[in-house]
Structure formats: C-alpha cells, structure tokens
C-alpha cells in the first residue's frame, strides 16, 4: 500500500503539472494575440534622445552602439552617454563611435554625482537635463537593435484604450557567449520570461510595467511621476518607471520590434547571483505574481510526478503532453515572436533549465540579499540598501 506522504506528493505534482499545461496554453494564446496586433504608423517622427549609462565595457557593446547609429529614421535623434568618471574604459568606445559616425550627434557627459544606491539611475538623472528632445529612450549598454527600431518604437505614441501612451517598452532575446550557464540564461529569457510578459499583457489588457531593454518615455509622463530621481534607490528601476507611468494615467505599450541583449559568459556563481537578483527583485515588486510562478514550471512538476508515481502510465502521459506544450511555447515565442536563432538548437536544454529555475525560484524565498556589480545589497520595498 502506498505511503500517505507519497500519495500526497503524487497528487500535488499531478495537479501542478495539469495547471502548468494550462499556463503553457494561455501563454501560447497570448503570443498569437500579440502577433496579430496592428499599430497604425504616426504621421509625425518625434525627435528622440537616447540615454545610456555606462560602466566598463560589456561584451558586444561596440556593435550595440553601432546599431543605434544606423537607424532608418526620418526624425532627429541623438545619443547621450553618461559615465561617472572620465577614466572609465567605456570613454574610449564612445570616442570611437564619434569618429565612426560624425553625422550622428553623440555626446559623452561626465555624471560624477552618486545620488542613490542605483548608480545607473544616478547617471541617467544627470543625463536627462542635457537631452535636446522631449522623447527620452533609455536602454542598457549591451542592447542591439534593428535599423527600424526608432520608427517602430515611436509609432506607439498616441491614445491607447482611452489612455495617452506615456511609455513604450520592448521584448528582448539573449545572445549567449560560450558557457553553459550563459546558454541557459538566454534560453530562459526567450522561453520563460518573455512568455510571462506576453501573458501579463493579455490578461491585464496591456502592460503595467517596463522592461530595461527599452524605456521610451515622454517628458510629460516622466514629470508626472516626479522624474527619474524618484527611482534612484530602486533596483528594478525599469519595472518601477513603467508601473508609475501607468499609475499616473498613461498607457504602457509593447512594441513588436524585439531587441537583443548580450548574456555574459557566466560561470555558475555569476549565473546564480544574476538569477537570484532577478527572482528576488520580482518577489519584492510583485509578491503574488512571484508566488504564481509555481504554475509556470509545468514540465518540472511533470518530471517530479513521474518520480513520485513510480512512472505510472498517467504520469508518463502528463510528461509527454507537458513537454510537447513546453516545446511549442518555446518555439512560438522564441523563434517566431523574438526571432531568436539560438532557441531551436538549445531546446534539448529545456528540462535542465526548468529544473534549475524551479530550484532558484525556491531559493528566491530564502532571503532578500542580492549581488549587483560585485556589491551586496538588501532589497526591501523596491529599494536597495548596501550590506
């Protein structure tokens, strides 16, 4: 006779595997809804000031900068790069861009003040007053974009469901560099995080937060929330910016133009630190949403159900169905929505990636300490406190 605890585990994992399949189906539907959206082009091409906070030289940074300079955009745009010190190695990269693209207004600005725990936002606060245009576009130094990026971001600035668009953000894919942890993180971005963004957008009737891959915000919307200075102690500044813009009565739009981020060649320690930083940031910002992630690990629960049931026929059927739906979601979002060419060759890593993600999700509950740029912080109420 089976042990009562074993029966309970089998029953629980069966329920979670079934609910996980429901999540996969819902995320698939959300992806198709996103693919079907049509955005009428704006007749105007507003001027855009692209703001980038730099610290050191990231992998692929030069090519990322070049992609911003090679825009097929009818309007005016400029690039403002901020560094905390002119001794930063990134200064030489910006100087190279100025020589390579003399026709593009590129400015390097020293931003020496440390206004809060978030150094990136401290720099952006000092960059914003130097910008010439009313539309500010903030993204990370390793973001690579397509030639029509600015055109497709700016076309969203109009009324959306009765709200005036205040911020536009973008989905992104990861480009791995060499190591297995790097490939696992890139795979997770395309097949786990981005589907959850699409599902949240569909269920909530639009996004209510921003993604650091692209934060295009009007000065009007930015001033309505008190400016960037209000975010200077927040780790999830991208999430906070979008959430506050939405709360102020503006719409947050999601452009169908995905961008690409460079995933460093992590060792396992760097990978775990980065993942825990993400998990604990999400837990702090959206505690109920974080708890709800339990339903997104359908493949992992199906694997545990096979073990708990002694490989019963029902558990094997659940595993097969979960794996099929997981693959379908990964291919639809990764390959079709994001255009990620690394997803298909990496699909065999999905079971390993999902099991590791489950473990990291559980570890995310075990504390509020994170490691960011080599420093340890605690995260509480969205704010950073150095340890």
In a domain, 84, yes or no: yes
Residue 271 lies in a domain: no
> Is the same domain home to 64 and 18?
no
Looking at the fold, whether 14 and 99 belong to one and the same domain comes out as no
Instruction: Look at residue 276 and tell me if it is in a domain.
Output: no
pLDDT at res. 42: 64
Instruction: Look at residues 285, 289, 211, 206 and name the one whose alpha carbon lies nearest to residue 250.
Output: 206
Residue 275, in any domain of the structure: no
In a domain, 274, yes or no: no
Say which CATH number the domain at 194 has: 3.90.550.10
What is residue 195's predicted lDDT score, i.e. its pLDDT? 94
* Residue 155 belongs to a domain: yes
pLDDT mean by block of 10 residues, the chain; 387 residues: 72 91 96 84 83 88 94 93 93 94 95 89 94 95 93 81 87 90 93 93 90 94 94 89 94 92 89 90 84 90 90 91 95 93 90 92 88 79 75
Boundary-marking domain end, from 239, 265, 291: 265
Q: Mark whether 55 and 156 lie in a shared domain.
A: yes
Domain region containing 14: 4-35+283-381
- The model carries a pTM of 0.89
119 occurs within a structural domain: yes
Of 209, 234, 265, which residue constitutes the final position of a domain? 265
| Cα separation, 244 vs 285, whole angstroms | 12
Q: How many domains does the chain have?
A: 2
* Residues 69 and 93 occupy one common structural domain: yes
**Are 118 and 145 found together in one domain?**
yes
Q: Residue 283 has which token pair? A: 């837990």
Residues 70 and 213 in one domain: yes
Do 177 and 320 reside in the same domain of the chain? no
In a domain, 64, yes or no: yes
pLDDT for the residue 385: 78
Say if residue 99 is in the same domain as residue 215: yes
């Amino acid at each position: 006779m089976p042990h009562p605890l074993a029966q309970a585990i089998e029953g629980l994992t069966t329920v979670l595997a079934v609910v996980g399949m429901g999540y996969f189906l819902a995320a698939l539907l959300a992806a198709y809804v996103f693919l079907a959206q049509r955005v009428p082009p704006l007749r105007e091409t507003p001027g855009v000031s692209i703001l980038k906070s730099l610290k050191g030289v990231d992998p692929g940074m030069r090519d990322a900068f070049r992609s911003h300079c090679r825009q097929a955009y009818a309007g005016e745009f400029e690039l403002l790069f901020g560094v905390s010190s002119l001794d930063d190695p990134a200064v030489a990269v910006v100087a190279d861009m100025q020589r390579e693209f003399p026709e593009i207004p590129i400015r390097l600005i020293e931003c020496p003040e440390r206004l809060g725990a978030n150094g990136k936002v401290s720099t952006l606060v000092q960059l914003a007053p130097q910008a010439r245009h009313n539309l500010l576009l903030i993204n990370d130094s390793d973001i690579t974009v397509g030639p029509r990026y600015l055109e497709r971001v700016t076309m969203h600035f109009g009324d959306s469901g009765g709200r005036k668009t205040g911020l536009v953000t973008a989905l992104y894919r990861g480009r791995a560099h060499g190591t297995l942890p790097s490939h696992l993180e890139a795979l997770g971005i395309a097949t786990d995080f981005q589907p959850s963004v699409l599902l949240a957008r569909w269920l909530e009737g639009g996004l209510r937060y921003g993604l650091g891959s692209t934060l295009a915000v009007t000065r009007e919307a930015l001033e309505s929330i008190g400016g960037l200075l209000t975010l200077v102690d927040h780790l999830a500044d991208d999430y906070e910016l979008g959430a506050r813009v939405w709360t102020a009565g503006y719409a947050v739009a999601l452009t169908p133009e995905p961008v690409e981020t460079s995933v460093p060649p992590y060792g396992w320690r760097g990978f775990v630190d980065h993942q825990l930083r993400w998990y604990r940031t999400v837990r702090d910002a959206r505690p109920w949403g974080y708890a709800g992630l339990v339903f997104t690990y359908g493949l992992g629960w199906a694997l545990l159900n096979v073990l708990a049931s002694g490989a019963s026929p029902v558990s094997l059927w659940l595993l097969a169905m979960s794996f099929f739906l997981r693959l379908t979601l990964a291919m639809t979002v990764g390959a079709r929505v994001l255009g990620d060419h690394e997803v298909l060759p990496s699909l065999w890593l999905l079971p390993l990636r999902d099991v590791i993600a489950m473990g990291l999700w559980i570890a995310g509950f075990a504390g509020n300490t994170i490691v960011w740029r080599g420093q340890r912080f605690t995260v509480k109420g969205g704010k950073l406190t150095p340890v």
